[in-house]
A and B are shown apart, each in its own frame.
Chain A
Amino acid sequence: MPGDSRRIRGPEESQSPLLYVLSEEGGKAAGRRGRGPSEPRPVFVRAGLLSQAKGSAYLEAGSGGTKVLCAVHGPRERGMGGERAETRGRLLCDLRWAPFSRRGPWSGSCPAGPSPRQAGLQLQESLEPAVRLDRYPRAEVIVWVLVLEDRGSALPAAVSCASLALADAGIEMFDLALGCGLSRGPGGELLLDPDDDEEEAGSGGTMSLSLLPTLNQVSGLISSGEWEGESSEEAVRLCMEGCQRLYPVLHQCLVKATKRKIPVPQPDTN
């Protein structure tokens, strides 16, 4: 960031060496690395790992894949800038990418992907239906998500990770919110949980859906590109299935984290 005296300054300009790679070696990583088109990457999750946050979660999709970390603070006294005295609490979300999280150029000065504000808002809209904000009048709950490594489907991963962290923080919720991404390849085929190569190649359109699994309600849907009736229905169905496949993993992880964090209540107390 030129002129920013608050950071250590580097050169005015720099380019990624990938731009100068000799073109002869075009052999990119082979397709889906052996995955079927509607097969999501295996997911590793952990909840309650940060000491300073009320709740936290880490999600990793595939080995050497997308890595997302989330911390939840609150409920705490609502900061300034509240519009009206509301009887509901407020959910604030922030989604950022680490400067080294993408394969392309370093993105310290101009963050890659959607602007943090937009990404945060998308995350917030997907999570809000899951959180019982009516239980937190005059308070706010803040969700911070950092993408440590983006190998595709970062937003859906952020949704799943954030809802896990919210539950870990003991925030009252109607349900978990799970995210699943999809992209349409150049040949029109639908690829569930695309990695970064597929997202780049999938100029045909992308979709990101979040689902409340036990209520089976869709809490957020963002799609780009051109979608036609039947294929979009098929895409939504695939995404919902993808989310449902994620549920047992998150459920198990959350139960484990809860048991670790909270002692078993004695039946005689109270």
Chain B
Amino acid sequence: MAPVRCCVPGERLCSTEDCAPGYGTFCRHGYIFASLAGYIVKKTDNGLMPVISVVRETDSHLLPDVGSVVTCKVTSINSRFAKVQIMYIGSTPLSNTFRGTIRKEDIRATEKDKVEVYKSFRPGDIVMAKVISLGDIQSNYLLSTAENELGVVVAHSEAGATMVPISWCEMQCPKTHIKEQRKVARVQPEFLQT
């Protein structure tokens, strides 16, 4: 195989007749140009025109998008919502965190009127959530944990120990055996490891 070529923004890659523009490219005057510094990758899917894109693996500038699952840390709570910092999108860590909000009515899917924010999250908890809206000018990203797989994944008790989930709404401290209430996520077995 030929070595993968490297390109810089503004480099002309090919004509739009030869390829379709993919990620990290733009079209102008019938040609495809690179808009990123990275490696040129051509991919042909089922006989259609090959897609040319520029790959830059390390940390592609992900911004949270509607539907993506994010991992975040709870920074503060009040009676109506919990504020969080988004730290991961999927399994990609973000270098700059974004702020998000989980409203009370988005915490769980059923019995929405009985939800209490403080019985679901505490500041410092690590929570998996789904982005449901980018928000408007005033508000930040709106997140939801209304799915079995979403909710608190790591939490610390008042004694400072990492708590163990015992049901979908309770966690227990291994030191003091005190139970605390949380909206616990049913963590997928493939994510469980030491």
Report if A and B associate in a common complex.
yes
List chain A positions with a Cβ less than 8 A from chain B: 54, 73-77, 82, 84-85, 130, 132, 135-139, 167-168, 170-176, 212-215, 251, 254-255, 257-259, 261-265, 267, 270
Q: List 26 A-B contacts (CB under 8 A).
A: A54-B95, A73-B96, A74-B96, A76-B96, A77-B96, A77-B98, A85-B136, A130-B10, A132-B26, A132-B35, A138-B63, A138-B134, A170-B36, A170-B59, A173-B10, A175-B33, A214-B33, A251-B8, A254-B8, A254-B37, A257-B37, A259-B6, A262-B56, A265-B55, A265-B57, A267-B1
Q: Interface 1/0s, chain B 87-100, versus A by CB < 8 A?
A: 00000000111110
Asked if B10 and A174 make an inter-chain contact with CB atoms under 8 angstroms apart, the answer reads yes
Kindly state the separation between the CA atoms of A259 and B4 in the bound complex, as whole angstroms: 10
Asked if B8 and A176 make an inter-chain contact with CB atoms under 8 angstroms apart, the answer reads yes
Distance in Å from the Cβ of B65 to the closest Cβ of chain A? 11
Write the chain A residue with the least CB distance to B86: A77
Give the 10 A-B residue pairs with the shortest CB-CB distance, closest first: A175-B10, A76-B96, A173-B9, A214-B10, A172-B35, A85-B137, A167-B37, A254-B8, A258-B37, A255-B6
Q: Given that A174-B9, A254-B8, A265-B4 are known contacts, is A77 also in contact with B35, CB under 8 Å in the complex?
A: no
Distance in Å from the Cβ of A219 to the closest Cβ of chain B? 12
Kindly state the separation between the CA atoms of A213 and B35 in the bound complex, as whole angstroms: 14
Q: Interface 1/0s, chain B 1-26, versus A by CB < 8 A?
A: 10110111111100000000000101
Kindly state the separation between the CA atoms of A157 and B148 in the bound complex, as whole angstroms: 55
Q: Does B60 contact A (CB under 8 A)?
A: yes
Kindly state the separation between the CA atoms of A84 and B38 in the bound complex, as whole angstroms: 33
Q: Does B169 contact A (CB under 8 A)?
A: no
Asked if B61 and A264 make an inter-chain contact with CB atoms under 8 angstroms apart, the answer reads no
What residues of B have a CB within 8 angstroms of the CB of A84 in the complex? 137
Kindly state the separation between the CA atoms of A73 and B83 in the bound complex, as whole angstroms: 24
What residues of A have a CB within 8 angstroms of the CB of B98 in the complex? 76-77
Kindly state the separation between the CA atoms of A118 and B170 in the bound complex, as whole angstroms: 58
List chain B positions with a Cβ less than 8 A from chain A: 1, 3-4, 6-12, 24, 26, 28, 33, 35-39, 41, 43, 55-61, 63, 95-99, 134, 136-137, 140
Distance in Å from the Cβ of B151 to the closest Cβ of chain A? 24
Asked if A170 and B95 make an inter-chain contact with CB atoms under 8 angstroms apart, the answer reads no
- One of A85, A139, A176 near B9 (C-beta < 8 A): A176
Kindly state the separation between the CA atoms of A161 and B10 in the bound complex, as whole angstroms: 16
What residues of B have a CB within 8 angstroms of the CB of A214 in the complex? 10-12, 33
What residues of A have a CB within 8 angstroms of the CB of B61 in the complex? 75, 136, 170-171
Asked if A172 and B24 make an inter-chain contact with CB atoms under 8 angstroms apart, the answer reads yes
Asked if B39 and A262 make an inter-chain contact with CB atoms under 8 angstroms apart, the answer reads yes
What residues of A have a CB within 8 angstroms of the CB of B36 in the complex? 167, 170, 172-173
Asked if B39 and A264 make an inter-chain contact with CB atoms under 8 angstroms apart, the answer reads yes
- One of A137, A251, A259, A261 near B58 (C-beta < 8 A): A261
Write the chain A residue with the least CB distance to B41: A265
Q: Given that A167-B8, A258-B6, A259-B6 are known contacts, is A174 also in contact with B33, CB under 8 Å in the complex?
A: yes
Distance in Å from the Cβ of B78 to the closest Cβ of chain A? 21
Asked if B39 and A173 make an inter-chain contact with CB atoms under 8 angstroms apart, the answer reads no
Kindly state the separation between the CA atoms of A176 and B6 in the bound complex, as whole angstroms: 15
Asked if A139 and B35 make an inter-chain contact with CB atoms under 8 angstroms apart, the answer reads no
Kindly state the separation between the CA atoms of A84 and B12 in the bound complex, as whole angstroms: 35
Asked if B37 and A168 make an inter-chain contact with CB atoms under 8 angstroms apart, the answer reads yes
Distance in Å from the Cβ of A145 to the closest Cβ of chain B? 19
Kindly state the separation between the CA atoms of A175 and B37 in the bound complex, as whole angstroms: 10
What residues of A have a CB within 8 angstroms of the CB of B95 in the complex? 54
Distance in Å from the Cβ of B180 to the closest Cβ of chain A? 31
Write the chain B residue with the least CB distance to A168: B37
What residues of A have a CB within 8 angstroms of the CB of B1 in the complex? 267
